[in-house]
């Protein structure tokens, strides 16, 4: 029961008691209503003022009952308020402890810093992908909304080191700073990079002149929603079939049965040092290679069957889930 509703019940009980007392004195002692109401108030509140007029025996008996009723009203009111305070604080304390225990047990999770429209959309996508994540926000309404949506949420300023530490940043698989404020997102990036030097960090930026600042602060990728949306809308007008094809692959695996993935070649893998022809990835796993990225070079523009794979390379592939699992084993096995 909310505090407002509890106060409403208390007010109704007191008003009803005072009116009942006033009507009782008017009927028993035949007093004017204002005198009867005043007598009812000083009796119910037990302030100890003298009687308005001398009371008959019946009036004294009624006064005794009214005093007892007034004490009961105060007891009822005190109980409602006390129950609200104690139960609310206890529930909040137990909920906070439960949430901290849950967060301390999470590994390889994504930290969503800011639960606005973009944060909400990211949570839906991460949930669809089956990834673990934590929402971090200091706004009470945002925290409540994230909790109502069924997500693990921590209330705190994500720009503070202690907040990120409590949310397990040293165990996290990635962090997204996606609040509506560029300044807040920049502080999150700075704090996160200082606490975890290898953590993948993406950040949302609204202003066109701030991406460089985010990169210097430690962000790995910057998302400019208006620029990206503009490009996408243009492509949807010019090449709708192409956009629809990739949309189906990226967001609806059941549509074609395949998905895109990026996988890294581990040191000591049996594919390390082999050409694409020698690796025979397509023949062994059924996966299509659509791109290769080197640590010291970037994307390989024109890879051929003679292109040599190296440890540390990231290959971009398209295939079914079981095929991607087979390729993942090849990239980490020593042969």
Just give the CATH number of 3-101.
1.10.287.70
Rank 194-198, 226-230, 306-310, 323-327 by mean pLDDT and report only the highest: 194-198
pTM over the 0.75 mark: no
Where are the chain's structural domains? 3-101, 107-228, 257-332
Cα–Cα dist 265/3, whole Å: 59
Determine the pLDDT at residue 94.
53
Mean pLDDT of 289-298: 85
Determine the pLDDT at residue 253.
52
Shared fold status for 3-101 and 257-332: no
CATH topology of domain 107-228: Rossmann fold (3.40.50)
pLDDT per position as a tens digit, 91-129? 555 556 667 777 878 889 999 999 999 999 999 999 988
Instruction: Output b/e per residue, 1-25; b: 16+ Cβ within 10 A.
Output: eeeeeeeeebeebbeebbeebbebb
Cα–Cα dist 41/34, whole Å: 11
Cα–Cα dist 90/175, whole Å: 32
Taking the C-alpha atoms of 16, 21, 23 and 26 in order, what is their torsion angle to the nearest 10 degrees?
Answer: -160
Is 133's pLDDT higher than 90? yes
Residues with Cβ within 8 Å of 209's Cβ and at least 6 positions away in sequence, in order, are none
CATH topology of domain 257-332: Alpha-Beta Plaits (3.30.70)
pLDDT per position as a tens digit, 182-232? 999 999 999 999 999 999 999 999 888 888 899 999 999 999 887 877 877
User: Quick one: which of 25, 20, 171 has its CA closest to 110?
Assistant: 171
Cα–Cα dist 76/70, whole Å: 10
Which has the higher per-residue pLDDT, 207 or 51? 207
Residues with Cβ within 8 Å of 147's Cβ and at least 6 positions away in sequence, in order, are 153
User: Quick one: which of 66, 164, 67, 179 has its CA closest to 110?
Assistant: 164
Is 255's pLDDT higher than 60? no
User: Quick one: which of 56, 17, 61 has its CA closest to 40?
Assistant: 17
């Amino acid at each position: 029961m909310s505090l407002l509703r509890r106060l409403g019940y208390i007010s109704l009980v007191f008003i009803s008691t005072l009116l009942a007392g006033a009507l009782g004195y008017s009927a028993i002692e035949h007093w004017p209503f204002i005198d009867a109401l005043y007598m009812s108030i000083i009796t119910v509140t037990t302030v100890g003022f003298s009687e308005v007029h001398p009371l008959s025996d019946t009036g004294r008996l009624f006064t005794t009952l009214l005093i007892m009723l007034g004490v009961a009203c105060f007891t009822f009111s005190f109980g409602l308020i006390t129950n609200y305070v104690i139960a609310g604080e206890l529930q909040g304390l137990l909920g906070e402890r439960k949430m901290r225990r849950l967060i301390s047990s999470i590994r390889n999770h994504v930290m969503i810093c800011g639960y606005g429209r973009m944060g909400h959309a990211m949570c839906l996508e991460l949930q669809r992908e089956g990834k673990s994540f934590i929402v971090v926000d200091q706004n009470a309404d945002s925290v409540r909304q994230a909790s109502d949506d069924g997500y693990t949420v921590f209330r705190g300023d994500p720009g503070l080191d202690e907040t990120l530490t409590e949310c397990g940043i040293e165990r996290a698989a990635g962090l997204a700073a996606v609040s509506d404020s560029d300044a807040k997102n920049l502080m999150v990036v700075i704090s996160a990079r200082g606490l975890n030097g290898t953590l993948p960090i993406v950040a949302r930026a609204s202003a066109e002149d701030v991406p460089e600042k985010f990169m210097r602060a430690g962000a790995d990728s910057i998302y400019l929603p208006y620029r990206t949306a503009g490009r996408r809308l243009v492509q949807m007008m010019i090449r709708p079939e192409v956009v629809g094809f990739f949309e189906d692959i990226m967001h609806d695996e059941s549509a074609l049965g395949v998905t895109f993935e990026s996988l890294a070649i581990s040191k000591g893998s049996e594919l390390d040092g082999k050409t694409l022809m020698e690796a025979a990835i397509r023949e062994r796993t059924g996966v299509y290679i659509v791109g290769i990225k080197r640590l010291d070079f970037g994307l390989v523009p024109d890879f051929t069957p003679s292109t040599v794979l190296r440890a540390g390379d990231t290959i971009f592939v398209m295939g079914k889930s079981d095929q991607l699992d087979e390729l993942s084993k090849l990239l980490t096995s020593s042969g």
